[in-house]
Amino acid sequence: MPLAAVRLFEAATREGVVLIPYRMDRNPRLRHLRIVIDESNQVVLKTPPRVSDRQAIRFLNENADWVMQRLQQRPSTPSLLDYLRSSQRLSLAGRWRPITFYFRARRPSFDLDDPEEVALFLDTQRDRELQLRWLLIEIAKRTLPQRVEYFSRRHRLKAHGVGVRDQRSRWGSCSETGGLSLNWRLILLPPRLQDHIILHELAHLQHFDHSRAFYKLLNQLDPHSAKHSEELTDWSYRVMGLARNLLQVAS
Ligand SMILES: [Zn+2]
């Protein structure tokens, strides 16, 4: 799901005014408006073609109490800011880089020029989680394709384009036409695991399956492949749910 698809709606609920992130899913096969809270705690407004945005948003507002109730019943994930404040690093170009946060009254941005740190500038006036998520996705878009390029050259496996996305459960995928799709959360993984996933997807350029030949190649590219894939399970629990449950009560 691209970041642009996430919008906020301001709902008057019994608990006051609440900002709720949602995405609109327009589907030609739908006949009625529906609100779904998906497995990653995201509100999805399922909208048939004949219904206008306005009507759909009104429907969402009318059902705000129901949405709030549902969201509160779900287990919450730690905030991205809390997570990064304790981990204090991102994985870029094959190594960890420490993060420094700067809070100021200006639009959010980042700076990767200093090889010893990643500077994240957050606007004190806006929702920190949304900004942070946006910044990390931008950093992932900047750095992950470079890492793919690095391994591409080294192993002569040419991908046809690299996309960075917000997948719910997968780390990456390779299309039949050789396009790679990577989860932005790869920059939260240890460098060796980020590389492992990139190499896994690059190996699919030669073997479009999980055959023995595929694993043989993957083992050549990443000699600790089995260990890395085992380590990934734990990391997936920790990281995959981050920045899903974006909810903020406005004062
Ligand atoms: Zn695979």
User: In the structure encoding, which two tokens stand for residue 188, read together?
Assistant: 């939260």
Question: Which of 3-12, 14-23, 33-42, 45-54 holds the top average pLDDT?
Answer: 45-54
- Compute, in angstroms, the gap from residue 145 CA to the centroid of ligand 1: 18
Domains, the chain, with CATH or none: 3-75 (no CATH), 80-239 (3.30.2010.10)
Crossing angle (nearest 10°) for helices 191-203 and 128-155 = 60
Task: For residue 120, count other CB atoms closer than 10 A to its CB.
Answer: 22
What is the Å distance from ligand 1's center to 227 Cα? 16
Give the Cα separation of 61 and 69 in Å (integer): 14
CA 218 / ligand 1 centre spacing (Å): 10
Between the CA of 204 and the centroid of ligand 1 the distance, in Å, is: 7
Q: How far is the CA of 209 from the centre of ligand 1 (A)?
A: 7
Q: Report the SS3 class of residue 185.
A: helix
Q: How many CB atoms neighbour CB 53 within 10 A?
A: 12
Sign of CA dihedral 223, 137, 85, 245: negative
Calculate how far, in angstroms, residue 33's C-alpha sits from the geometric centre of ligand 1: 36
pLDDT digits (tens, 9 = 90+) for 200-220: 999 999 999 999 999 999 999
79 DSSP assignment: P
Task: Please report the pLDDT score of residue 76 as a whole number.
Answer: 60
Residue 77 has a pLDDT of 66
Specify the pTM. Answer: 0.70
Largest CA distance in the chain: 59
Distance CA 77, CA 6 (A): 18
Q: How far apart are CA 83 and CA 188, in angstroms?
A: 10
- In percent, how much of the chain has pLDDT > 90? 60
C-alpha 48 to ligand 1 mean position (Å): 34
pLDDT, the chain, mean: 88
DSSP 19: E
Higher-confidence residue of 7 and 40: namely 7
Model confidence at 223: pLDDT above 70: yes
Residue 50 to residue 65: CA distance in whole angstroms:
25
